Amino acid sequence: MNRRELLKLGGILAVSAGLPALTNAAPTPMAGGIFYTKGKPGRWAGREATHVPILSTTQTQNGIVLNVVNNSHPMEAYQHYIVKHVILDADFNFGAEKLFNPSVDKQASSSFNLGNYKGVVHVLSVCNLHDTWLTAIQI
């Protein structure tokens, strides 16, 4: 992420901090149909473990880094792979994304510097076969 993208993300996240966020437990008719969560896997039930991204944070001198990884999800060339990770603010405004090249990337792993942001970040993980999965983290 370049400096311009970071500043944009920081601005977006700062503006929306404190607004209600969608979590895995939040009831919505879209979960399990249009997108999927750990609690609402819909037609992809049983595939939660590899498609719901695992989130962690690391404090650095430049702020908080959000780490996103899909454990054990195949990266089998273009047959089955994680296409990208996307981070969104509490209002689901785009923040940043990481695209994967399955012929090079052996694991879907990304990191996003959030600066000094405090609040909710939504994270999407997009599989070419099993659609879009959502999770969130409170920073």
Q: Which residues bind Fe ion (CB under 5 A)?
A: 127, 129-130
Rounded Cα gap, residues 130 and 24, in angstroms: 17
Question: Of all residues in this chain, which one has the CB nearest to Fe ion in the complex?
Answer: 127
Place of tokens 């994304």: 97
Q: Could you tell me the two tokens for 43?
A: 């037609």
* Closest distance of CB 119 from Fe ion, Å: 29
Rounded Cα gap, residues 34 and 40, in angstroms: 11
**Cβ closest to Fe ion, residue 111 vs residue 132:** 132
**Cβ closest to Fe ion, residue 6 vs residue 83:** 83
* Closest distance of CB 56 from Fe ion, Å: 21
Rounded Cα gap, residues 27 and 106, in angstroms: 34
**Cβ closest to Fe ion, residue 42 vs residue 115:** 42
The answer to whether the CB of 75 falls within 8 A of the CB of 100 is: yes
* Closest distance of CB 27 from Fe ion, Å: 25
* Closest distance of CB 53 from Fe ion, Å: 12
**Cβ closest to Fe ion, residue 7 vs residue 129:** 129
Rounded Cα gap, residues 4 and 36, in angstroms: 31
